């Protein structure tokens, strides 16, 4: 069973690819969080987590999901061990996101033992455009990142398929994670600033003359933060649920959504936008 969260589709694609390689079912976190987070694992079933890095940390929705997730084992008599993995997608560096995730995994209420044996981070096209100077990647760079990520994911899938186990204290792939420079600083004070001040829907607005009221933005929001739909202009609910995943901004076919003045003349990206 592979749990995933994705805003602009990178992590969904990664989860689908892993699902195909491993012949495992995939479960969308945004579709289950707040409703049913109890799952029963089959005998020897793998447990995987795939999601993007947000502000050098675990996205809030994944954090919430992990705290409510309950895993049961088909054999309720014994606490069976299940091979567990985590794959992160990021634009350039993950900081200490995996270390933070390891703490969350320990919190999962489980009738099974989750053995985190393998971890991976893959660089994928940039989706964050909410600060000056931050924009999507150039098409060639997007293409190259996806190509490299595909190879890395297929390799990672073989590690999982062969059930290669950790040697010593840390999961396989731990040392190779793309943490970037000064990871403690980025996941610590910078991540805290990002979480408290930059994750907000308040700056979102719609340029009415470009909006054709197609409803796409409301449909693609993973947390239902947009009041909209066909025949309506979007209105952000300002209810603290927005993840600033920028899915609404990137999917608008008329580039009618702006984030304050910080997205003016910036590009748009979602997985499959350029190559179907
Ligand atoms: C709110 C937000 C914060 C992000 N923070 C980081 C980050 O700290 N480090 C990084 O390398 N990429 C960061 N990114 C880029 C995404 O992690 C990357 O594009 C990811 O593959 C997007 O996955 P998705 O398409 O599944 O949502 C951020 C993107 C968003 C929207
Ligand atoms: S996706 Fe763009 S055009 Fe469609 S309703 Fe939303 S803002 Fe308007
Ligand atoms: S409102 Fe836009 S940025 Fe916020 S969670 Fe929804 S899609 Fe993502």
Q: Where in the chain is the domain with CATH 3.30.70.20?
A: 198-259
The predicted-structure confidence for 66-113, as pLDDT tens digits, reads as follows 999 999 887 766 678 899 999 999 999 999 999 999 999 998 988 888
Does 201 sit in the ligand 3 pocket, CB within 6 Å? Answer: yes
Does 54 sit in the ligand 1 pocket, CB within 6 Å? Answer: yes
Inter-residue contact 149 to 116 (CB < 8 Å): no
Does 124 sit in the ligand 1 pocket, CB within 6 Å? Answer: yes
Q: Pick the residue whose CA is nearest to atom 1 on ligand 2.
A: 252
Query: What pLDDT is attached to residue 167?
Result: 86
**What kind of fold does domain 198-259 have according to CATH?**
Alpha-Beta Plaits (3.30.70)
Does 243 sit in the ligand 3 pocket, CB within 6 Å? Answer: yes
Query: Which three-class secondary structure state does DSSP give residue 129?
Result: coil
Q: Pick the residue whose CA is nearest to atom 5 on ligand 2.
A: 213
To the nearest 10°, report the CA torsion of 76, 79, 85, 86.
80
| Cα–Cα nearest to 219, from 249, 248, 240 | 248
Backbone φ and ψ of 3, nearest 5°: -95, 135
CATH class of the domain at 2-183: alpha beta
> How many Å lie between the centroid of ligand 3 and the Cα of residue 162?
38
- H or E segment and range at residue 91: none
Does 220 sit in the ligand 2 pocket, CB within 6 Å? Answer: no
Query: Which three-class secondary structure state does DSSP give residue 174?
Result: coil
Query: What pLDDT is attached to residue 275?
Result: 60
Single pTM value for the model: 0.97
Under-70 pLDDT residues of the chain: 76-78, 275-276
DSSP state of 136: P
Does 5 sit in the ligand 1 pocket, CB within 6 Å? Answer: no
Q: CA–CA separation, 194 vs 187, rounded Å?
A: 10
Q: Where in the chain is the domain with CATH 3.40.50.360?
A: 2-183
Inter-residue contact 3 to 48 (CB < 8 Å): yes
For the chain, how many residues are written? 276
Tally Cβ neighbours within 10 Å of residue 92: 12
């Amino acid at each position: 069973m592979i749990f995933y969260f994705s805003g602009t589709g990178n992590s969904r694609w990664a989860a689908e690819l892993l699902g195909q390689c491993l012949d495992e079912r995939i479960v969308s976190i945004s579709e289950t969080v707040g409703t049913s987070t109890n799952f029963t694992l089959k005998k020897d079933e793998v447990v995987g987590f795939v999601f993007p890095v947000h502000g050098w940390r675990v996205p809030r929705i994944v954090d919430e999901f992990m705290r409510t997730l309950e895993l049961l084992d088909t054999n309720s008599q014994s606490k069976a061990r299940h091979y567990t993995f985590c794959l992160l997608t990021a634009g350039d560096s993950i900081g200490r996101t995996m270390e933070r995730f390891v703490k969350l995994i320990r919190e999962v209420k489980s009738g099974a033992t989750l053995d985190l044996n393998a971890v991976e981070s893959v660089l994928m096209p940039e989706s964050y455009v909410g600060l000056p100077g931050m924009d999507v990647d150039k098409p060639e760079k997007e293409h190259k990142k996806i190509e490299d990520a595909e190879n890395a994911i297929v390799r990672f899938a073989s590690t999982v398929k062969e059930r290669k186990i950790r040697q010593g204290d840390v999961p396989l792939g731990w040392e190779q994670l793309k943490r970037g420079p000064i990871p403690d600083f980025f996941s610590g004070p910078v991540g805290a600033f990002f979480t408290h001040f930059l994750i907000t829907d308040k700056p979102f607005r719609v340029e009415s003359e470009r909006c054709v009221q197609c409803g796409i933005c409301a449909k693609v929001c993973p947390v239902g933060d947009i009041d909209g739909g066909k025949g309506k202009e979007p209105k952000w609910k300002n209810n603290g649920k927005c993840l600033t995943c920028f899915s609404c901004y990137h999917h608008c076919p008329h580039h009618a959504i702006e984030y304050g003045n910080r997205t003016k003349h910036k590009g748009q990206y979602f997985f499959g936008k350029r190559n179907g």
